[in-house]
Structure 1
Amino acid sequence: MLAWVALSCNCTQAGAEKKAALADALTSYLPRTLEALENGLIDEGMASKVFEATACASREVAAEVDSRLTFENKNPGSLRRMANSLLMRVDPEGYEQRRRAKTAARMVEIRHGDHGSSTLFAELPSDRAQAIYALCDRYALDKKRQGDVRTMDQLRADGLVELCLGGECGGKPTAQVFVYIDLPTLMGLRNNPAELAGCGEISPEMAREIAFDSNSVWNRIVSEPMTGLPIDMGRKSYRPSKKMRRYVQVLHRTCYLPGCFRPAQYSDLDHIQPWSEGGGTDKVNFRPFCRVHHGLCDEPGWEFHTGDDGTITVTTPDGRTYTEKPTGFI
């Protein structure tokens, strides 16, 4: 049967098996995802993200996650993040068991390709993977500032090779990876999900492991219980001080454009109200944008509006609007 499906759909046997499993899930325990697919809110690829995120759990847990999902103005990455976050809340014990099993199954794999090129895969805990990427990214940025003509992708790859093989690494750059956890959870009084910037929510157990690891190189950001915000630090000049830059990065966590999850510490800071029009250099007027989306701020037809509660509304040249409240605001 699956062989016939594979032939008729012009896909491999494995692809046919995935399609069949997705169809079974949509018609049995993911009804709201199926409804969103039928109404054109998502496509098959986005439906697959929900299925893949929940396939490890029981059908009852997956159905509960499905019932809580919202699909408006979501891209594949943000939809999968929402499914993962809900899964952690609906089934915290199961999530932690799977997280530990994934950690135990960590591995590195190499796949040799054509023309003298190979691909190296590493299945790692998210915090380790994020730290390695951040170190390679910092290496690439430092090289670019020195006038290196290689692309950022080339520099990250070359940086990884130099780091693994013991080469010099541009003055030994320090990677910055932020882990956000509220004080009661850090103390073990609560078990609220924490966040690994650029990756998404992580279990409280994993966050505490990172926070109390004597060899940890990650920056743990403990939120103040009453407001959830760090201390404000301002400066009256066009360019932010290092303290202000760090504050904005800690506050916003990722690129400010809805649906982009590049960590804020690797983004540009931009004045929401232009400096030339009286905009200040402070926490209210600064937002982090990744390099790609920073360029959109000055493009014709793109509009950005920020509410008092930190909500950002982006209007595209074709009139579509996307609204999101950044994680760092309460």
Structure 2
Amino acid sequence: MFEQLVGGTDTRPSSFERALSTALLDHPRPLVVEVVHPDPAVGWEYVPVRGGGTGHRPAGQDSAPDDLADLRDVLDAGIDHLQRAAAATRAIARLSAVVATSLAEFARCRPSESFDRQPGEQGAMSAATRNARPAALSEVSEWAVDEVAPSLRVTSTAAGVQLAESVVLVDRLPGTLALLARGELTPAHARQMVNVVGPVEDDGLRADIEAHVLGLLDRKTPPQLGDCARRIVLRKDADAAARKLVTAVRERGVRLHDRRDGTATVSLDLPLPSAAAIYRALETYAEDARADGDERTKQQRMADCVQDLILRPGENGMPPVTVALTLVATLETMLGGAEPGQVEGMLVPAEMVRELGYTFGLMPRPAPDVAGLSDGGDGDGAPAGPECETSSDPDPAPPPRSGPAPAPAPVQDRALDEWLALARARNEAAVQEGLAGAEQAILDGTWVDGELRALLDVGALIGVRDLAGTGLAHRPRIAVVDRLRGSLIALTDAAGIRRGAGLGPPPATDGYTPGAELERFVRMRDRRCRFPGCRARARSCDLDHRREWPDGPTAHDNLWCLCEHHHRLKHQAPGWRFEEADDGGLAITTPSGEVLVSHPPRFGTDLDIPPF
């Protein structure tokens, strides 16, 4: 809805912009040109240039300067530069494969059993240091890193990371190495594969996952490829993912990093739900702190709020804030399946999804056994429907009605409320019983540290119950999904399912601004900015009309999410075209003539485009 962003400003293109657009559209391979901003003190006028189109010159100048380039020459020159950069990027990828292979071979020439003192010998590496080393370097001499660092002119820490990544890439991910050697993916893509797929222990499973992920590479950016790989690993290696979750949560902490410019970075490692809640709370505080004349950016205000909240508690007068987190999970996950879920659009293991479901009363927690450690049994109830989405964004109050008062809530609605209340009560009782059992198990010495025995273990580590005042702002919504295509069909709730209502997209809105249900549906469908590779979350995006209103309706099939930057790009940047693709996706034509097609991310599938 960019028209509202610009308010009362005149958005009509100038004569120069119209001429530039004409030249770009007529050119077989258009490219962005540099637009010179005129000096307001001088003024500009637009004149014809060689080859058609218009140029610009200071007002009063009789002829265009000799060095005024022909627009088409500029376009072609820009394309040549871009192609040269792309070729160099592929060459860098091929050389990166050479570096990785060489470092892996070097590591084989430095076996720890030949170069290092063995455990138990005087002067040997301590057990703590040995355990902290990357698993890929467990059989490599501890001194190998000290050879790599000066040779590559990097720090010892960076050398250790690069050496470990090279060993994993060469020894465990041959398919990724082959694509890197051919220049078909970048070192950043390979690093995502090393970090996400490389740790899978089973050789056959790892090879299967690698082939699956690389088959979906297409035009993914490194973060997109990492998300795709993470989803597949979480699904196919769920047990290992659960163990890694427990290990990661136990390693939570606060760390200080010197940036060497008089500032420092404080990093806070927490379970994702808690970290997301903290971040959203800081966003709210920062928004409340904005005042007229305040030139601080949002990030600067968030940083200042952290200082005030921690260093001056009670002195800043900041009121408590309410944040909203969105949980997306399949019904199968809630019932014990391995399909990962999402919190704020970020993948989380199925174990964490179920723990959040228990905590917020979405389903009753299975009772723990006598030792306080359950056998991992599944819950005995869950919201119906293929996908369950919860968000604490409150619904707007309905408009006043005329005529008779509305009928009382259906019996089914009251029954659902009673069921949720009972589930929350059972959850709290199970929590208290389980924690008591865990405490007794520790006292009895029967608690096995490091072994994932129950969802309760994860819950206790996650600490979601320590978030005071958390809960559902409204009943869960159910996303009805086409299981074959993975596309969103409807966004309703359990009561709507029972009544047979709402099993389709919300109706169009009469007017420019979409209604609450329509807006919620579009944001849930897109989940991120629809510009290819953009990671901006839908909640912070604008809803843009594909065909400008009122020529196009305010309807689900004429709306898509665009972040502010790409919304401005659509309306302002010369040479870009945003159109509807033949398959219903968003087709974006770049100034160089390349067409990028974007579709909403699929539910429960790794495909980025419709399978047919």
Name the TM-score, length of structure 2 as normaliser. Answer: 0.49
2:461 corresponding residue in structure 1: none
* Equivalent residue number for residue 448 of structure 2: none
Distance 2:547 2:309 in 1: 41
Question: Deviation at 1:127?
Answer: 1.9
Q: Could you tell me how far 1:73 is from its partner in structure 2?
A: 1.0
Q: Distance in 2 between matches of 1:224 and 1:93?
A: 28
1:249 counterpart residue number: 523
Change (3 A) 1:29 1:189: closer
* Count of residue pairs the alignment pairs up: 326
Indicate how the Cα distance of structure 1 residues 47 and 115 shifts in structure 2: closer, same or farther if over 3 A, else same: closer
Q: What secondary structure sits across from 2:359 in the alignment?
A: coil
Alignment partner of 1:49 is 2:195: no
Deviation at 1:144, TM superposition (A): 4.9
Matches within 5 A, 1:125-144: 125-144=271-290
1:85 matched to 2:231 = yes
Matched, 1:322 2:607: no
Contact 1:312-1:324 within 8 A present in 2 as well: yes
1:160-205: CA deviation from partner (whole Å, max 9, x where unpaired): 3344445344x6543222111223433x164432222332x22222
User: Does residue 521 of structure 2 align to residue 260 of structure 1?
Assistant: no
Alignment CA distance shift 1:274-1:193 (3 Å) = same
Preserved contact between residue 229 and residue 328 of structure 1 (Cα < 8 Å): no
Shift of 1:87: 1.0
Deviations 1:25-49 (A, max 9, x none): 2222212211221222222232112
1:271 and 1:281 in contact (8 A); partners too = yes
- The within-5 A match list for 1:1-330 is 1-58=144-201, 60=203, 61-70=205-214, 71-114=217-260, 117-144=263-290, 148-164=294-310, 165-166=313-314, 167-169=316-318, 172-186=320-334, 188=335, 190-199=337-346, 201-214=347-360, 216-217=470-471, 221-224=477-480, 229-231=490-492, 232-233=505-506, 234-276=508-550, 278-298=551-571, 299-307=573-581, 311-327=585-601
Larger relative contact order (CA 8 Å, sep ≥ 6)? 2
Kept in 1, the 8 Å contact 2:234–2:338? The answer is no
Contact 2:145 2:160 in 1 (8 A): yes
How far the C-alpha of 1:308 sits from its partner, in A, is 7.4
Q: What residue identity is the alignment partner of 1:125?
A: P
**SS in structure 1 of the partner of residue 279 of structure 2:** helix
Which runs of at least 4 in structure 1 moved beyond 6 Å after TM superposition? Answer: none
- Greater CA deviation, 137-146 or 208-217? 137-146
1:201-253, Cα deviation, whole Å (9 max, x unpaired): 22222112223314545786532366653143342111223443333222222
Which runs of no fewer than 5 residues in structure 2 stay unpaired? 1-143, 361-468, 483-487, 493-504, 604-609
Distance of aligned partners of 1:13 and 1:296 in 2 relative to their CA distance in 1, 3 Å threshold: same
Q: 1:66 corresponds to which letter in structure 2? A: E
Larger radius of gyration: 2
CA contact (8 A) 2:490 2:521 kept: no
Would you say the 8 A contact 2:530–2:598 is kept in 1? no
Q: Is the 8 A contact 1:304 1:314 kept in 2?
A: yes
What amino acid maps onto 2:333 in structure 1? T
Q: Distance in 1 between matches of 2:588 and 2:274?
A: 33
SS of the residue 2:255 aligns to: strand
**Partner Cα distance (1:16, 1:309) in 2:** 47
Contact in 1 for aligned 2:542/2:562 (Cα 8 Å): yes
Instruction: Assess, with a 3 A threshold, how the Cα gap between structure 1 residues 91 and 326 changes in structure 2: closer, same or farther.
Output: same
Per-residue deviation, residues 278-315 of structure 1 (Å, max 9, x unmatched): 11212222212222222221122222334576533333
CA contact (8 A) 1:185 1:192 kept: yes
- Aligned Cα root-mean-square deviation (Å): 2.8
Distance 1:287 1:141 in 2: 25
Give the TM-score normalised by the residue count of structure 1: 0.86
Relative distance call for 1:310 and 1:252 in structure 2 (3 A) is farther
Alpha-carbon distance between aligned partners in 2 of 1:29 and 1:242, rounded to the nearest angstrom:
49
| CA contact 1:262–1:290 (8 Å) conserved in 2 | yes
Q: Is the 8 A contact 1:183 1:224 kept in 2?
A: no
User: Distance in 2 between the 1:271 and 1:15 partners?
Assistant: 47
| Helix, strand or coil at the partner of 1:239 | coil
- Counterpart-to-counterpart distance in 1, 2:532 and 2:332: 29
Deviates more, 1:225-234 or 1:202-211: 225-234
Bigger mean CA offset, 207-216 vs 44-53: 207-216
Q: Secondary structure at the match of 2:323?
A: coil
